[in-house]
Chains A and B, each alone.
Chain A
Amino acid sequence: AQKITQTQPGMFVQEKEAVTLDCTYDTSDPSYGLFWYKQPSSGEMIFLIYQGSYDQQNATEGRYSLNFQKARKSANLVISASQLGDSAMYFCAISRGGNYGQNFVFGPGTRLSVLP
């Protein structure tokens, strides 16, 4: 079975600073995908970034980057130059299968608060 662990229930960061949200995973599947989603207080789930298990390079999307360490089974999200609008819940997720597989399993989430 697949499992995601996010050990930080809450994080604070000063505006314009960088912040790292931790995510470790456990899976027996040889091929899997790792995702980060943002959930503002309004409830919608916003896709941020994806990393495939066979991708050699760490994924980047604008201010978001994924620090993928396969041997350690970690996929930390780094947000650079934090903005007030980044305050939200952040969920790490793993999917079974190839690039964008199904059967997502979400972690418990980390609540990020950006301070002015």
Chain B
Amino acid sequence: GAVVSQHPSRVICKSGTSVKIECRSLDFQATTMFWYRQFPKQSLMLMATSNEGSKATYEQGVEKDKFLINHASLTLSTLTVTSAHPEDSSFYICSAIPAGDSPLHFGNGTRLTVT
């Protein structure tokens, strides 16, 4: 079945530093990937839609300059949290749709802790 791999699974960083999270589609090409954020005991909130070869589309209220998205190939999208602050601590999870008639497949998520 379709596999989406996300790395790292956990990361702890100091306030003010940047963190890059990778999302890879292992056995399919994904022209579009999605980045979600999930706070503890809450639902998934779509942050942005990552489009291969073009700019990402951000949801209202999501800072483009803080959450940099790069979708440089058909199998890789990256989310960089720049100048991270403790309030950026959250669970970030990516997803992709393998083909036209397939459900959304998710990576295993990245738990970011900013100290």
Contacts and interface: CB of A to CB of B under 8 A. Distances in A.
Contact of A102 (B97, B106, B111): B97
Interface stretch (B17-25, B40-48, B65-73, B75-83): B40-48
B101 interface: yes
Contacts of A109: 42-43
Given A42-B108, A43-B91, A44-B106, A104 B101 contact: no
Interface string B16-53: 00000000000000001010000000111110010000
The bracket for how many chain B residues form the interface is 20 to 34
A60 interface: no
Given A99-B101, A100-B100, A102-B32, A43 B42 contact: no
B93 interface: yes
A42 B101 CA distance: 27
Interface in A100-114: 100, 102-109
14 contacts: A43-B91, A43-B93, A44-B106, A47-B104, A91-B43, A99-B101, A100-B102, A100-B103, A102-B32, A102-B97, A103-B46, A104-B34, A106-B45, A109-B42
Interface of A: 35, 37, 42-45, 47, 50, 91, 95, 99-100, 102-109
Given A105-B46, A106-B45, 10 more contacts: A35-B104, A45-B93, A47-B104, A91-B43, A100-B101, A100-B104, A103-B46, A104-B46, A108-B43, A109-B42
